[in-house]
Amino acid sequence: MADFNAITLQLKGIRKAYNIGLPAETEVLHGLDLTIERGEFVALIGPSGSGKSTLLNLIGLLDKPTAGELLITGQPTTQLQDRELTLLRAKAIGFVFQFHNLLPEFTALENVMLPLLAARGRPDEAMRLRAAELIEQVGLTDVGKHLSNDLSGGQQQRVAIARALVMQPALVLADEPTGNLDTKAADNVFDLLRRVNEASDTSFLIVTHDPRLAQRCDRIIELVDGRIDSDKANRVSPP
Amino acid sequence: MNSAMPFEWILAIRFMRQARMQTLLIMAGVALGVSVIVFISALISGLQTNLFKRTLDFQAQIIILPPKEISRPLHQAGDGAMLATLVQPRAQRLQSVDQWQTVLAQVAKMDGVSVAAPVVSGAGFIVRGEANKAVGLTGIEPETYLKLIALNSKIIAGTANITGTDMLVGLDLAKDLGVWTGDKLNLQTASGGTATLSIRGIFDYGNSGMNSRSVYIALRTAQSLLDLAGGVTSVEVNLDAPFTAETVAQTIQAQTGLKVDSWIATNAQFFSALEAQSMSNTVIRFFVGLTAALGIASVLVVSVVQKSKAIGILRATGTSRQQILRLFLLQGALTGLIGSLLGAFVGWLFLIAWRNIAINADGTQLFPITFDPMLFVYAAVGATLVGILAALFPALQAARLDPAVAIRG
């Protein structure tokens, strides 16, 4: 369930270094400050090696910063244990990755159900209905019963979006969600993300290389060499 | 998705079903191991039960005997110097157990004693026409002795219930002398006793030595023939629990001061053979179990690597470390359980086949195999535990996987 705090995400002086104490110690993120408000639709761009993925992992609570504080819907996270992080991640954050998003052993519908199942332990009818509703929302009612491997790349990304939304998270993190798709499929997936964002209070942070897609976001943050190089609002021109 | 099933079960079963070849191969491996264990265990326990029965059916578990007579050399009055320079051990004459009625009553009342019977044994001759056979005489009270020794089951003609004028002879002796039940034989002993007794029953021990030399007569008849009026040469005892014989024997010895032998002491070789069998069975079980465990572990280690992306995605979408740990432990447990059930079934088929192959010339079984249903339960429980233990390392590996690294791959 989303926490309807006005501020979805807040980063305060976030640093991340690897190989700490070794000769190869490198700092990847050099003290980032960032706030994302409820319902924002943000693009994160930047060259390879700028620290985008590292930042996404930190925000997704998959990794811990070396210094600084990271608040999700107002809750500080750096002192949390793995168990609490897992719970917070489950209810507040949805992920859409570029590749291998789905479990091939399960149908599209079941993949959407997985986060609910992990949280509640056993499947029930309410879960099935919720998953079916989302599958319908992403336009895949016809293929919901198919194993995820049988779906096209675009369809798989739609399923991943449905799964990211199933827990009604405050924030959806998408890492190159269309990087793997042809232009048409990429546009469709992107449109879906926008529609979902407009219909809900969920904020979106989308990592992309594609300037065309970035131009369709409300705000564009550019990361260069582990620092925020620019952060500006973007007026979306109607397509 | 089956709605009765918890999350980890659903995942474990899907993972195993998807990696079909891996799952089938490792389950076949476990099944083979378990079938070997089931088969060998049943074989050895059947063999042991059989040996045990053969040993104990025809000998008492505890035998109480008079103490051995020893030579007591004379010593000179005064300085105590020995008068004899050469001391030979005494020849043991036939003697009675001192106060045997009291000993019998006392032993029969002891805890764990199922039956105690007085026995007179000694040497004699059977004379018929020109034939003259040396035999071992055993004087018995049928009402107690037949509970002690499974003689009844070996009677092939007549009955074992003898009175003072009856005798039981072995099949070979009866054939040698050309007699059968109802015939009379003359019995003599070295002490001059003589009696004419009628054959009441013929027994067959399946051993020609015993069949041609053992003769059973009534206790009183034996007493008078062997010049042992009112005495018995031994009191023989059976217990409810045969394996306690040695301790019970020591207790009786301490209480009566008589010589007391247990079957455990007199069959030391038999016991070391049983021990060796049990030990080899344990060694086989251990190594088969170890092999199965290593097989399960290696399959799961590979599976963790193959599934690392899936694990990363599951962790990113709210699956806890504990759930991932349980997911892999469960796969180990299920592999062990299903493999062992298959294996128990295959082992059971082996046993049925063995029953049909390993038969004596006359069509009877070489030895009866015991089908202990608990063996199947033990195999299933044991293999499940082995599966869980084997899965422990891969499961920890999976639970510790860094989701960020796993997803990036």
List chain B pLDDT tens, one digit each, 409 residues: 666 789 999 999 999 998 889 999 999 999 999 998 888 888 888 888 888 877 888 888 999 999 888 877 777 777 777 776 677 888 887 788 888 999 999 998 988 899 999 999 999 999 888 888 999 999 999 999 998 888 888 899 999 889 889 999 999 999 999 999 999 999 999 888 899 999 999 999 888 888 899 999 999 999 999 998 889 999 999 998 888 888 999 999 998 889 999 988 888 888 888 888 888 888 998 999 899 899 999 999 999 998 898 999 999 888 999 999 999 999 999 999 999 999 988 988 888 888 888 776 666 666 677 667 887 888 889 889 999 999 999 999 999 988 888 887 5
Given a contact cutoff of 8 angstroms between Cβ atoms, the answer to whether A23 and A187 are in contact is: no
- CA torsion B31-B35-B38-B39 (nearest 10°) is 180
Asked whether B34 and B347 are in contact (CB, 8 A), the reply is yes
For residue A87, the distance in angstroms to the closest alpha carbon of chain B comes to: 6
Q: What average pLDDT does this structure show over A74-89?
A: 91
pLDDT, residue B361, reads 67
Chain A CB contacts of B18 below 8 Å: 104-105
Verify whether the Cβ–Cβ distance A114 to B402 is below 8 Å.
Answer: no
8 Å CB contact of A114 and B314: yes
Q: Which residues of A touch B404 (CB under 8 A)?
A: 57, 60, 62-63
Share of chain A above pLDDT 70, in %: 96
CA distance B294 to B300: 10
Mean pLDDT for A187-196 is: 89
Tokens of B355: 């029953």
Cα Rg of chain A, angstroms: 18
- B209, burial (CB in 10 Å: exposed 0-12, middle 13-18, buried 19+): exposed
Q: Is A119 on the interface with B (CB under 8 A)?
A: yes
Q: Which residue in B9, B17, B317, B325 has the most chain A C-beta atoms within 10 A of its own C-beta, making it the best mutation to test that interface?
A: B317
Question: Is residue A227 within a helix (H) or strand (E), and if so which, with residue range?
Answer: strand A227-233
Q: Which residues contact A121 (CB under 8 A, 6 or more apart)?
A: B6, B7
Please enumerate in sequence order all residues whose Cβ is within 8 A of that of B192, keeping only pairs 6 or more positions apart, or say none. Answer: B227
Confidence of residue A3 (pLDDT cuts 50, 70, 90): very low
Which phi and psi angles does B157 have, rounded to 5°?
Answer: -150, 145
Distance of alpha carbon B150 from the chain centroid: 17
pLDDT of residue B236: 94
Taking an 8 Å cut-off on Cβ atoms, the answer to whether B318 and A118 are in contact is: yes
Q: Is the ipTM of this complex over 0.85?
A: yes
Residue B342's contacts (CB-CB under 8 Å, 6 or more residues apart) are B27, B28, B30, B31, B34
Q: Is it the case that residue A159 has pLDDT exceeding 90? A: yes
The 10s digit of each residue's pLDDT in A8-64 is 999 999 999 988 888 888 999 999 999 999 999 999 999 988 989 899 999 999 989
What residue type is B146 in one-letter code?
Answer: L
With contact defined as beta carbons under 8 Å apart, do B172 and B212 qualify? yes
Best A18, A122, A124, A171 residue to mutate vs chain B (most B CBs within 10 Å): A122
Q: At what angle do helices A125-137 and A153-165 cross, to 10 degrees?
A: 130
Residue B362 has a pLDDT of 66
Tokens 């004693």 correspond to: B113
**CA nearest A149: which of A105, A97, A99?**
A105
Beta carbons of B202 and B211 less than 8 angstroms apart: no
Q: In residues, how long is chain A?
A: 239
Q: Any idea how long chain B is?
A: 409
d(CA A27, CA A16): 6
> Could you tell me if A200 and A172 are in contact, meaning their C-beta atoms sit under 8 angstroms apart?
no
pLDDT of residue B363: 63
SS3 B122: strand
Question: What distance in Å separates residue B297's CA from the closest CA in chain A?
Answer: 22
Q: Note the helical H segments in B307-372.
A: 308-316, 321-357
Contacts of B6 (CB under 8 A, 6+ apart): A121, A122
pLDDT of residue B55: 80
- Cα–Cα distance, A8 to B31 (Å, whole number): 54
Q: CA-CA distances (angstroms) from residue B255 to A124, B50, B103, B108, B203?
A: 73, 34, 9, 13, 37
Distance CA A62, CA A57 (A): 5
Give kind and range of the element (H or E) at residue B259.
strand B259-262
Query: Both tokens of residue B373?
Result: 């249903």
Considering CB atoms only, which of A63, A83, A104 is closest to B404? A63
Q: What is the DSSP string of B221-257?
A: HHHHHTT-TT--SEEEEEESSGGGHHHHHHHHHHHH-
| Res A238 pLDDT > 60 | no
Compare CB distances from A105 to B14, B320, B404 and report the shortest one's residue: B14
Which residues of chain B does A94 touch, with a Cβ-Cβ cutoff of 8 Å?
A: 317
| Average pLDDT, rounded, for chain A | 89
pLDDT at residue B365, as a whole number = 67
Q: Which residues of B touch A82 (CB under 8 A)?
A: 320-321
Report, as an integer, the average pLDDT of A78-96: 92
